[in-house]
């Protein structure tokens, strides 16, 4: 537990923990098994203000800080990573860019629906040909009078199957010599003619989170749905991902915390050679390492979130938080399985799910390899 929270921040954290403990934790295994987060849970989160955490009250949001968003994410993911990533994308990757880059009309049109959970938001950057190299995307948006016509394919769209609004990136410029300068961001509503949502991907972990492809076939988008400046969409994408990476780092901390809590509990209960295995030094050292890593990762998350709240540069700090937190989440999940032994390998114990959920934190919203590039570039510039 990090002790530098204000009274409001501590209240937010406690509210999130109480909800996660009472409502999410008992249903997490079912969410994983059924492959969906019940809409009723998202509606409950909206009642708490957790579906519009950083959106100003003017647009129906809670008007809280990025640190509060991180605190909520840690507690929600401690109970259910599928629910955690669903609300992370909804808040960090959909509402955040609208808050920062959207016009007043766009904010008033979309944000109240998102904050009240009338609509769910998604973010669509990756393509079959461009994952880590996001600037190499080939989807196009051609201006045609008062519209842009979108064509192309997107993949690995979190919330894709349940989203009502997509933040979509496409190449709108003809000059490909500077690939980043030719990209724009758009707000695309579900049901727009020419938008086809692909099948639900069956994943190793975060199975309750909806992940799909998107297909754009002469999809006509009103020009007023351009998000930010035409040709400057890559800036929108990267600023948004800085916040998203804090969210995934928070998810990783939550998963690691759950691994530690279950391991402490089980090690006190499990008897071998006539004593609880918690009395063995080998187990104690595993627990100590997990706890220390979680505290360090939490501090990195807090630092990055506070910098974002202050409007200060935080790209390097967000990358460091995600790089470290995702690694220690996977380490904690691995050690939790080892401490549980054979029972940790079966679905009757939650650490099996934690192990599957943890891996994605090293992949989405920028792989660990990309985070190392971001950090090293900041050091060497």
Whole-angstrom distance, CA of residue 20 vs CA of residue 233: 35
Torsion of CA 148, 165, 321, 131, to 10 degrees: -50
- 């000059």: which residue's tokens? 175
Q: What angle do CA 50, 56, 58 make, to 5 degrees?
A: 115
List the helix and strand counts (H, then E) for the chain. 12, 10
Instruction: Quote the crossing angle between the two packed helices 66-79 and 281-309, to the nearest 10°.
Output: 150
Give the span between the Cα atoms of 80 and 309, in whole angstroms: 26
Q: Annotated catalytic sites, by residue? A: 365
Q: What distance separates the 2 farthest-apart alpha carbons in the chain? A: 79
> Is 15 exposed, middle or buried, given 0-12, 13-18 or 19+ CB atoms closer than 10 A?
middle
Helix 351-359 vs helix 81-88: angle between axes, to the nearest 10 degrees? 30
The token duo for 375 is 């950090």
Distance CA 95, CA 39 (A): 19
Query: How far from 91 is each of 133, 211, 224, 319, 352, CA to CA, in Å?
Result: 24, 17, 22, 19, 28
């Amino acid at each position: 537990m990090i002790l530098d929270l204000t009274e409001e921040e501590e209240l937010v954290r406690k509210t999130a923990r109480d909800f996660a403990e009472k409502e999410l934790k008992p249903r997490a295994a079912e969410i994983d098994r059924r492959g969906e987060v019940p809409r009723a849970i998202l509606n409950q989160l909206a009642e708490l203000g957790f579906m519009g955490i950083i959106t100003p009250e003017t647009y129906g949001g809670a008007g809280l800080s990025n640190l509060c968003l991180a605190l909520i994410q840690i507690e929600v993911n401690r109970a259910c990573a599928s629910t955690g990533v669903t609300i992370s994308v909804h808040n960090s990757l959909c509402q955040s860019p609208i808050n920062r880059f959207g016009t007043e009309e766009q904010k008033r049109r979309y944000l109240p629906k998102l904050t009240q959970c009338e609509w769910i938001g998604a973010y669509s950057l990756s393509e079959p040909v461009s994952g880590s190299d996001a600037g190499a995307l080939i989807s196009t948006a051609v201006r045609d009078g008062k519209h842009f016509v979108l064509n192309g394919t997107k993949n690995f769209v979190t919330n894709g199957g349940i989203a009502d609004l997509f933040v979509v990136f496409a190449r709108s410029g003809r000059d490909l010599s500077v690939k980043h300068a030719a990209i724009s961001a758009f707000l695309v509503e579900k049901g727009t003619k020419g938008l086809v949502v692909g099948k639900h991907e069956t994943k190793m972990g975060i199975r309750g989170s909806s992940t799909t492809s998107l297909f754009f076939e002469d999809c006509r988008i009103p020009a007023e749905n351009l998000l930010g400046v035409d040709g400057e969409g890559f800036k929108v994408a990267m600023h948004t991902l800085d916040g998203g990476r804090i969210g995934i780092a928070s998810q990783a901390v939550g998963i690691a915390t759950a691994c530690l809590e279950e391991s402490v509990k089980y090690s006190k209960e499990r008897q071998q050679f006539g004593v609880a295995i918690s009395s063995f030094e080998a187990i104690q050292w595993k627990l100590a390492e997990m706890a220390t890593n979680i505290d360090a990762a939490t501090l990195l998350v807090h630092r990055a979130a506070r910098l974002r709240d202050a409007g200060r540069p935080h790209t390097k700090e967000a990358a460091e938080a995600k790089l470290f937190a995702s690694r220690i989440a996977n380490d904690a999940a691995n050690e939790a399985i080892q401490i549980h032994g054979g029972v940790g390998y079966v679905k009757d114990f939650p650490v099996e799910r934690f192990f599957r959920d943890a891996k994605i934190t090293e992949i989405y919203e920028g792989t660990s390899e990309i985070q190392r590039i971001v950090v090293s570039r900041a050091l060497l510039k």
